[in-house]
Amino acid sequence: MADLFDDYLPAAAWDEMFERAGVPRSAYGPVLAALQPLDKGELRFRADQLARVFTDRGVTFDYAGEERPFPLDLLPRVIDAAEWAVIDQGVRQRVRTLEAFLADVYGPAEIFRDGLVPWRLVCSSAHFHRQVAGLTPPNGVRAHVSGIDLIRDEDGRFRVLEDNVRTPSGVSYVMENRLAMTRTFPSLFAEQHVHPVDEYPARLLHALRAAAPAGVDDPVVAVLTPGVGNAAYFEHTLLARLMGVELVEGRDLLCAGNRVYIQTTQGRRPVHVIYRRIDDGYLDPLHFNAGSVIGCPGIVNAARAGNVTIANAVGNGVADDKLIYTYVPEMIRYYLGEEPVLANVESHRLESPDVVEWVLDRLGDLVLKPVDGSGGKGIVIGPHASDRDLAELRIKVEADPRAWIAQRPVALSTVPTLTENGPAPRHVDLRPFAVNDGEDVWVLPGGLTRVALPEGELVVNSSQGGGSKDTWVLAAERVREPQAPPIPMPRVTPDATVPEGGPAEGAQQQ
Amino acid sequence: MTTGLLSRIAETLFWIGRYVERADDTARILDVHVHRMLEEPSGDEDAGCRALLAILGVPAAPGERIDIGTVLAGLAFADDGPSSIAGALQAARTGGRSVREVVSTEMWECLNVTWHELPDRRRAAGRLGPHMFLRYVRERAALFSGLADATMSRDEGWHFLVLGRSLERIDMTARLLSLRMPSASYAPDWSMLLRASGADESYIRTHGGTGDPAQVAAFLMLDRLFPRSVLHALTLAEDCLAALDPDPSRAGFTDAARRPIGRMRTRLEYTDTTLLLGQLPELLPALQRACVEASAAVTEKYFQYALPVAWAQEG
């Protein structure tokens, strides 16, 4: 029998579905079994259905001023229970460490006195904001939501590529992907237990409420969005809707007497926790970019006065600076006294002239990243870059080595992805989302798998033509839910009929 | 517990109500006129088209001849402003996108799918005639109203949506009727007006098939039971305003939005139906003015946000 995966040739990277051509890994067994009876036409049909569902629901991101769909690939990515346990533990460890670091940066600054991290790295970071020094959040949490980007290297080991503790986005696609997949491809789910992902909004709301200022028993939470033009606007509406809180824009807010209010048809209403999806620079024109019209003037003062909590906290960007990233394994040992569960990608700091020279000699063999960039902007992958790009890069790196780190190019793992010619290997990464409520860090099982759709492409960002995959975390074994007592049923009595009526059909008269 | 709706969201819902109703009414009006003109090639197409464009707020350039194709391009397919069907639906969809978290997913999907489908429907109309397009618009507007009716709580948001829809209906019906004013260079017959309001069948069941002009005008303006009559829409708008602000003062009303609407409602309610035809030239502009006044008052009262920020001493 002709098989869907007959022509599938794994690329020169860790393939997550196949050990080698024709030999699948055990986690993918049931998925393969469900896929194999289908032919390419059938798969194409379902993929079109899937795209249609997304267009109709308005699941889009805005890029360069236009709404684009975020393509969902039909073939899921599967992570087995043992692999997930490592990721879960590693991400939680990472988030706890970054929290400790942020508290240190804006507080006692011990790690710098102990000489582990040079203070100059912090004060030269564009995302370090003195405006919030000494501002301790009510429950101590600064990274209410984090997204830790992971990749899988050539040996199948998960490694941390970068940390995002400012306003990581993408979780809406995790929820929408699952919804679309269960609707268009229910048979795939039949044979196994996949961890659900719809718990996220409740967890987030809980964490936001837990972060409310002291003395507020029933806090009002709002999501602050830059507006419909923002790339992640869809996500902002989804989160607000699923949490049942207001979605506000800067112009809906008003600060008076160091308190923040939303303006309603019935006048002002106080708000206590603001989950903002606006960058620091635009959040408060009084303290940051004075030209910002999307922010709320006075909000930082209100936070300092302890009347409102800003989530994620202002100034978090200092912890996901890519130079700081290179110190995180050391920080884990320093703050937690633990060994890192997830390793970094091998990185070089361009601090001494020797290293700079060494890196400049090998630009074509390395990946160079701007330290404060996000969304894949400015990354130069040496082996893929043209001579001209490399020449330009050399000039930039020589001018400002502090702005760059160099990394070994990792061949990201691949997962079969539906293309015009059937399934083919495409590179993926993984962004698990962690929510910190102050008591514990919870990691959403799965996370966002982004896939680079062009063949051989290593940059997976949606703004660079990426798509996504539904990401399954398999339960170790079918979870036995405690049996709820059966719902009492009324006894069926003979008169429990469905009422019907209307005049009898007219008698036939001749 | 009433906590108040975000002013921005209230305003958006109000305008979604207006835009969807506008698309619906424009589609009804065009459908009737387009087909009448196709049936009567001897009629003065140019004058008829100019009259249509004028009452719907899209003045035509003087000089060149205008045919039904121009009218459809300007009033149905143009997407550069909310005077046309496509433009109104686009505006409604943009609005829907910014209030997604307060309207039901079904309502949003209805607006979104409608907008995505328009180009296809327009192409189909090119092949099969404009009726396909216009009927699609009417069906989608009905679907939207039905979904709102079935899935929205009767809270403030609902009242703003219905208020917008009612004001637009009053305005559009007044515009439609002004086609019959003595000054008009082109006058469609009364049965066309009934059909353009979707009122023909209901009218015939009520008054029989003889189209007495005074009776038709009274039906479209004053009927208490027909949901697209001006009086019915005025009553509904007034109910919405009353629900938003019960205004329990002993004498008079402080609500500036309610005054023009209530005044017009009572005026119509106590009009002598036999004199109605003669009063139309004065009543119709008054109705349109009342809508403008009410709309401005609602904006002033409820949609105050994004005001200029200044330092101020409080307390």
d(CA A423, CA A112): 50
d(CA A449, CA A204): 20
| Whether pLDDT at B184 is above 60 | no
Listed by number, the residues of chain B in 32-61 with a beta carbon closer than 8 Å to a beta carbon of chain A are none
- Which pLDDT does position A218 carry in this prediction? 93
Q: Which of A121-130, A198-207, B97-106 has the highest mean pLDDT?
A: A198-207
| Whether pLDDT at A510 is above 80 | no
Measure CA of the first residue to CA of the last residue in chain B; give whole Å. 27
d(CA A390, CA B129): 59
Yes or no, beta carbons of A56 and B101 under 8 Å apart: no
CA atoms within 13 A on the CB side of A29: 6
| SS3 (DSSP) at B134 | helix
Which pLDDT band, with edges at 50, 70 and 90, does B247 fall under? confident
Nearest to B17 by CA among B224, B240, B176: B240
Yes or no, beta carbons of B315 and A257 under 8 Å apart: yes
- Which pLDDT does position A465 carry in this prediction? 67
- Which pLDDT does position A1 carry in this prediction? 41
- Which pLDDT does position B243 carry in this prediction? 93
Task: Taking residues A372-392, report their average pLDDT.
Answer: 83
The mean of the pLDDT values for chain A is: 88
| Whether pLDDT at A164 is above 90 | yes
Which pLDDT band, with edges at 50, 70 and 90, does A284 fall under? very high
Q: How many CB atoms lie within 10 A of CB A114?
A: 10
Yes or no, beta carbons of A248 and B302 under 8 Å apart: no
d(CA B85, CA B76): 5
d(CA B114, CA B89): 8
Residue A64 burial class via C-beta count within 10 angstroms: exposed 0-12, middle 13-18, buried 19 and up: exposed
Task: Taking residues B237-256, report their average pLDDT.
Answer: 86
Yes or no, beta carbons of A266 and B3 under 8 Å apart: yes
Q: Which residues of B touch A267 (CB under 8 A)?
A: 4
Q: Counting one residue from A and one from B, how many pairs have CB atoms under 8 Å apart?
A: 72
pTM of this structure: 0.84
Share of chain A above pLDDT 90, in %: 57
Yes or no, beta carbons of B302 and A265 under 8 Å apart: yes
Q: Which residues of B touch A249 (CB under 8 A)?
A: 8
Which pLDDT band, with edges at 50, 70 and 90, does A478 fall under? low
- Which pLDDT does position B59 carry in this prediction? 74
DSSP B224: S
Q: Does residue B151 sit at the A interface (CB-CB below 8 Å)?
A: no
Residue B108, by phi and psi: left (phi above 0), alpha (psi -120 to 50) or beta? alpha
Hey, what are A21's tokens?
Answer: 């051509």
Interface test mutation site (partner A, options B12, B100, B104, max chain A beta carbons within 10 A): B100
Yes or no, beta carbons of A263 and B6 under 8 Å apart: yes
DSSP A194: B
Q: What angle (nearest 5°) sits at the alpha carbon of residue A203, between those of residues A198 and A208?
A: 140
Residue of B nearest to A56 (CA): B113
Nearest to A222 by CA among B115, B101, B147: B101
Bigger pLDDT: A151 vs B212: A151
Nearest to B296 by CA among B261, B249, B252, B251: B261
A368-372, B227-231, B284-288: the lowest-pLDDT one: A368-372
- Which residue among A58, A247, A251 sits closest to B305, beta carbon to beta carbon? A251
| Whether pLDDT at B1 is above 50 | no
Yes or no, beta carbons of A246 and B108 under 8 Å apart: no
Bigger pLDDT: A68 vs A407: A407
Residue B129, by phi and psi: left (phi above 0), alpha (psi -120 to 50) or beta? left
Yes or no, beta carbons of A256 and B314 under 8 Å apart: yes
A103-112, A461-470, B67-76, B258-267: the lowest-pLDDT one: A461-470
- Which residue among B6, B100, B315 sits closest to A248, beta carbon to beta carbon? B6
Share of chain B above pLDDT 90, in %: 50
Which pLDDT band, with edges at 50, 70 and 90, does A379 fall under? confident
Phi and psi torsions of B290, nearest 5°: -60, -40
Which pLDDT band, with edges at 50, 70 and 90, does A366 fall under? very high
- Using CA atoms of A419, A422, A425, A430 in order, give the dihedral in degrees to the nearest 10: 60
Hey, what are A506's tokens?
Answer: 């007219």
DSSP-assigned states of every residue in A90-130: HHHHHHHHHHHHHHHHTTT-HHHHTTSS-HHHHHT-TT--G
CB B156 within 8 A of CB B4: yes
CB A249 within 8 A of CB B108: no
Which pLDDT band, with edges at 50, 70 and 90, does B187 fall under? low
- Which residue among A240, A247, A264 sits closest to B7, beta carbon to beta carbon? A264
CB B59 within 8 A of CB B209: no
Nearest to B223 by CA among B242, B249, B197: B197
- Which pLDDT does position A296 carry in this prediction? 92
Interface ipTM above 0.90: no
| Whether pLDDT at A497 is above 70 | no
Give the 3-state secondary structure percentages of chain B, helix then strand then coil, rounded to 5.
Answer: 70, 0, 30
Residue of B nearest to A285 (CA): B309
d(CA A56, CA A60): 10
Q: Which residues of A touch B7 (CB under 8 A)?
A: 252, 263-265
